[in-house]
Structure 1
Amino acid sequence: MNWIQSFTLTLTLAGAMAAPLAAQNFQQVAESSNQKLEDALKELADVRNDIAEKKIPLSKSVSELESKVLELRRERNRLLKIKDAGTIDLSALERQVGQMKDQADFVNNRLNEFINEFEGRINISELAGYEEAIQAGKLAPKNENLSAEEKRTLQVGVIETALGRIQNLIGGHSYEGSALNPSGVLVDGKFAIMGPTVYFSSDDGATFGLIEAQLNAADPVVLDLPDDIDGGISQAVTSGNGMLPFDSTLGKALKVAKEKKSLKGYIDDGGEVGLVIIGLGILGFLLAIYKSIQILSFKVAMPRHIDGILESIDKGNEKEAQERAHAIGGIAGEMFEAGVVNAQEKRGILEEMLFERILKARPYLESFLPFLSITAAAAPLLGLLGTVIGMIKTFQLITIFGTGDAKSLSSGISEALVTTALGLIVAIPVLILHGMLSRMAKRKLGLLEQGAVAFVNGVMARRHDKKDS
């Protein structure tokens, strides 16, 4: 039930209770309601008329504003497109600038590399003629007072100088200068370049030869050529006509010949450890020679000698047996002399008497052999010691001079390698000699023992024969 029904019910009840009062006021209420309704309708009509009057101008204003919004949107989109296009163009320009900068850096690096390589490629005798252009090109990138174009011009000037040098080298090129002769004296003269080879002849013609650059020399050095090369170099350099020696190895053969060392040079490279190894080796070889003579001169009894001694004993002629034993000589003679004297003793005593002489011969034959064995074992160890000392010197030189100066490091490396070689040179022959001499000594002892056994067996056999007869 809604409020209208409730209101109706209420009115109904009220009407039922106050019928007389409702009858009196109903007409008044109806008239008042009609009047209010008319007023409300009139007010609504006025409002609608007012809205209708204002709607058209407002619609026009809205249309104008919408048109302006559309126009502003189009302008905004146009500006955004312009902005995007500008951003794209700026990025492209930045990329182009970066690429051009990279290209410029690459060209500068290549120019610097060329200048450095050109300086290292030319002969030391040519350096004076090209030094100004080379230094200007090398210092140009660091000169803040020069523009980029001026720097590039100085660097390109080195290339032009190099091209001019190539033109000069076609057919040969000569120029004045100074060089150090083989005695270390600076002399004036003339240089001539033919291909990769540079020749020099002094003004007086006394010094001539090939030119090389040495590590500790600021001037070009004249190589000391073999005696069979005559003065044709001097004539060719001075006059432009003549015979020039040609080295197909481009100077390597002369360097190899120059670097060849004598035995004294290798000994000097070995240092103190090398001298110790050589001294040990010489002593070992002398002892080996001495032992060879000693073992070879050691006398042993031959079967015929033993048979003769046994025959004399069998005859009962002890004096003759002793003379034959004495004739053998050495420890073997002493052994058989003792055997003759004790021939009548029991087998055990006779064997002990002979074995005593064999024990005497053993240290005689084996003397100095342990020293040879020690020499063969110690020489490589001394070589290893020299290697360690040489490497220590090398690392010390690296600490002082760095790794750029290979020639200054060669002394330590040479000592390291030479001592190892000397140790092996000494150890291998001494080891072989020790083995040979040990076998020779054992063979002599074996023959001595064999003779003793043959003597004892012969004496015992004859003693049994006498008993049997």
Structure 2
Amino acid sequence: MRNFARVFIAAVLSSTLLYASTEEELKADLQKSLTELGEVRAKIATEKPLLGKKIADLEQELILLRRQQRLARMSAEGRLNDMKALSKNHAIYTQDANYLSAQMKQHAVVMGTQLLPGENGEYGQVIEQIATRGQDQDLDSQVDALSKGVDRLEQLLGGFKTQGNAVTEQDQVLAGEFAHLGPATWFAANDGSVAGPVLSDVGAKSVKVLDGDKEAIAALLGGKEVDLSIDVTGGKARAIAEIQSGFGQLLKKGGVWLMPILGIALLSAICGVIKLLQLMQIKSPRQGWVSEILSALRDGRKEEAEEIAASAKHPAGELLKNALQYTSAGADVVEEVIYEQLIGVQGKLQSWLPFIAVTAATAPLLGLLGTVSGMIRMFNVITVTGTGDVKPMAGGISEALVTTLFGLIVAIPALIIHTLLSRRSNGVVQNTEKLGLTLVNGLRKMNQG
């Protein structure tokens, strides 16, 4: 029994040792397999991209070979049609690319003209790069400018502040801080002397600040909530209103040709006033005035007849008084004397009127002369600066239009005044002639009686 137990225990121990030895071998084999598997996977990972690239190259080569095979089977006409289609597509794609590139470049240029004070440092380099590089080389910079423009638009919608210089209405350059919000910009000088909305001309190197609410703008720059008016025109509406309401601005823009126009206008006004006062002193004789003169002559009271004639505040009074001195010579002589003196009366009544007529005719001609001079100036400016910017031409255009305006302003009233005064003078002459003829006819009747 003891022997059997010993044998059994020996068998168990032997089997146990055998199992332990087998487990160790299995673990070693498993570890070796895992190591080999890792090495294989690493080798596959290393060779797979190369194999992928080689496969892609083979596919491209296969496509090219198939295309060459198709072209080889095609006729010459078919190959020519394919070449035309490819050339057409190439031209379309090139045109589209050039158009997009030009649009992006134009966007950068427009963006450069609309930069606000203090933004040149952030965006100026991109815009300058586009301007100095060729169209076929600046695609990256154009895309950069486009993205910068989008960022700038978002920044404007939210509002931001920059540092820079501005020019006051007194032409002083001051350093200060700008507040930007959408299309509106405000400025406050560092010394607190000036604050107000900003007028910025497109393409201008400096901006102009107008007078405004200093306290409100200072509070805005300090981050506080304030109420400020916004001029969406950038101050241009205010500038236009000042130009339209200023008569002195028109005189200044008219140039040297306004001086003679205003000079003849003043002389014409003086002549018109003198002539009007002269005609206002003439009073029509009372009813039966000539009959009283004839009645005194019929009774032999010649001196009384002359006094009655001289009492009239009318050119006919002096004319009839002189004519009565020749009544003894007969009615025909009196008539000749009346017509002789009537020439002098007519000349006296027509005095000053020719100068007014000359003014009415000359003023438009002087205005036209100023117009021609202004147009010559404008074309001279165009020769130098071109037609891209109309501001340099404004002086010539203003001179051309303002001189014509003042020429018509002077000519039209002068023409009306000349017409009215001439009609009044002609009426006095006709009335004088009528009274003279009435006296002559009365004398003839007296002589016949």
Q: Sort the TM-score into its range (normalised by shorter chain).
A: 0.7 to 0.9
Which shows bigger deviation, 78-87 or 327-336?
78-87
The aligned counterpart of 1:359 is 343
Residue type matched to 2:390 in 1? A
Per-residue deviation, residues 109-144 of structure 1 (Å, max 9, x unmatched): 22212211222233355334321222233334369x
Displacement after TM superposition at 1:351 (Å): 0.8
Q: In 2, distance between residues paired with 1:271 and 1:430?
A: 22
Q: Secondary structure at the match of 1:260?
A: helix
1:105 aligns with 2:92: no
State which of 278, 288, 291 in structure 2 corresponds to 1:304: 288
Q: Is the 8 A contact 2:114 2:203 kept in 1?
A: no
Quote the Cα distance in structure 2 between the aligned partners of 1:91 and 1:305.
111
Larger CA Rg, structure 1 vs 2: 1
Identity of aligned residues (%): 30
Residue 207 of structure 2 corresponds to: 220
Q: Quick one: distance in 2 between partners of 1:318 and 1:261?
A: 67
8 Å CA contact 1:398–1:409 kept in 2: the answer is yes
2:257 alignment partner in structure 1:
273
Query: Could you say which residue in structure 1 is the equivalent of 2:408?
Result: 424
Q: 1: CA distance between counterparts of 2:391 and 2:79? A: 63
- Name the SS of the counterpart of 2:175 in structure 1: strand
AA in 2 matched with 1:350: V
Taking a change above 3 Å as real, the CA distance of residues 337 and 200 of structure 1, as seen in their structure-2 partners, is same
Deviates more, 1:101-110 or 1:445-454: 101-110
Q: Which residue of 2 is the match for residue 253 of structure 1?
A: 237
Task: Indicate which of 111, 115, 119 corresponds to 1:126.
Answer: 119
Identify which of 70, 73, 76 aligns with 1:81.
73
> Structure 2: how far apart are the matches of 1:78 and 1:423?
84
SS at match of 1:416: helix
Q: Which amino acid in structure 1 is aligned with residue 266 of structure 2?
A: I
Residue pair 1:233, 1:245 contacting (<8 A) in 2 also: no
3-state DSSP class of the match of 2:164? strand
Secondary structure at 1:192's aligned position in 2?
strand
Q: Which residue of 2 aligns with 1:335?
A: 319
- 2:364 is matched with 380
Q: Distance in 1 between matches of 2:347 and 2:90?
A: 94
Specify which of 318, 330, 344 is matched with residue 328 of structure 2: 344
Asked if the contact 1:189/1:203 (under 8 Å) is kept, the reply is: yes
C-alpha deviation, 1:99, in angstroms: 4.4
Note closer, same or farther for the CA distance 1:94–1:344 as it changes in structure 2 (3 Å cut). Answer: closer
Q: How does 1:167-182 map to 2 (within 5 A)?
A: 167-182=154-169
Q: 1:344 to 1:166 in 2, by over 3 A?
A: same
- Residue 220 of structure 2: aligned partner: 236
Task: State the Cα distance separating 1:87 from its structure 2 match.
Answer: 7.4
- Is the counterpart of residue 197 in structure 1 residue 190 in structure 2? no
Distance 2:90 2:325 in 1: 118
* CA RMSD across the alignment: 2.8
1:62 paired residue number: none
Aligned to 2:46: none
- TM-score, with structure 2 as normaliser: 0.76
* C-alpha distance in structure 1 between counterparts of 2:206 and 2:317, whole Å: 79
Distance 1:86 1:400, change over 3 A: closer
Alignment correspondent of 2:270: 286
Closer, same or farther: CA 111–249 of 1 in aligned 2, 3 Å:
closer
| Superposed displacement of residue 296, structure 1 | 2.3
Structure 2 unpaired stretches of 5+: 1-68
Q: 1:445: Cα distance to partner?
A: 0.5
- Structure 1, unmatched stretches of 5+, are 1-76
Scaled by the length of structure 1, the TM-score of the pair is: 0.73
Are the aligned partners of 2:165 and 2:175 in contact in 1 as well (CA < 8 Å)?
A: yes
Could you tell me how far apart the structure 2 residues matched to 1:344 and 1:298 are? Answer: 30
Q: In the TM superposition, what is the alpha-carbon distance from 1:314 to its structure 2 partner?
A: 2.2
1:158 alignment partner, one of 145, 153, 156: 145
Deviation string 1:216-243 (CA, Å, 9 cap, x unpaired) is: 9522221345xxx564223223434322
Judge which range, 270-279 or 427-436, deviates more: 270-279
Identify the residue that residue 27 of structure 1 maps to in structure 2. Answer: none
Q: For the Cα contact (< 8 Å) 1:199–1:237, is it kept in 2? A: no
- The reply on whether 1:318 has 2:302 as its aligned counterpart is yes
Aligned-pair distance for 1:161? 1.1
* Alpha-carbon distance in 2 for matches of 1:178, 1:357: 81
User: What residue in structure 2 maps to residue 114 of structure 1?
Assistant: 107
Find the aligned partners of 2:84 and 2:255 in 1 and give their Cα distance: 69
1:400 and 1:78 mapped to 2: Cα distance? Answer: 63
**Total equivalences in the alignment:** 380
